[in-house]
Amino acid sequence: MSARVSIRRAGVADAEVVLTMVRELADHQNEGQDVTVGIDDWTRMLGRDDVVVLVAEQDGRALGYVSALRRLHLWSGAEVLALDDLYVRASGRDGGVGRSLMLALARHAAPDRLTIAWGVRHDNTAAQRFYERLGAKLREKVVVSWDADTYTAALRR
């Protein structure tokens, strides 16, 4: 199957298919409520140089995507490529599409030798093994988030 899969960078005209897949991924992880972005946001974001979305297609149908953001790294003064999502639709699974998307992202990062960095859920051991097979380095971390309601309460005290 993978011979007929092509990968290209998404542009502003792809906002709808990208948003549809972002919602599928979020629903799949029971995090659908966290996707509050709309078509207009994605149209704007896909026009930005620092937003990188690669879409895998087969016979004109989207099979999956990888999204990433170029961001500054304050210890090096250089940029890193912060991977956000990697998603393959059920119809494209076990066909090497995820690996192809990751390698396409690596090709995108290679000219500037950007380090690619991301997080994986602690219980998603299948994904962790997949990334280890690509040679990526994994380590445990504690991630912290402090939302506006919570810090506003702390500021009042």
* Residue ranges in 114-143 that form contacts with a copy of itself under rule CB under 8 A: 114-122, 124, 128, 131, 134-143
Number of residues that bind a copy of itself (CB under 8 A): 65
> If we measure between CA atoms, which residue out of 138, 5, 18 comes closest to residue 85?
18
Residue 23: CB atoms within 10 A of its CB come to 13
Residues 88-117 binding a copy of itself (CB under 8 A) are 103, 106-107, 109-110, 113-117
The answer to whether the Cα torsion of 25, 28, 29, 33 is positive or negative is positive
Q: Quick one: CA dihedral 87, 91, 93, 99, positive or negative? A: negative
Q: Smallest gap, in angstroms, from Cβ of residue 114 to a copy of itself?
A: 7
Which chain residues interact with a copy of itself by CB under 8 A?
A: 22, 26, 34-38, 41-42, 44-45, 48, 50-51, 67, 69, 71-72, 74-78, 82, 84-85, 103, 106-107, 109-110, 113-122, 124, 128, 131, 134-148, 150-155
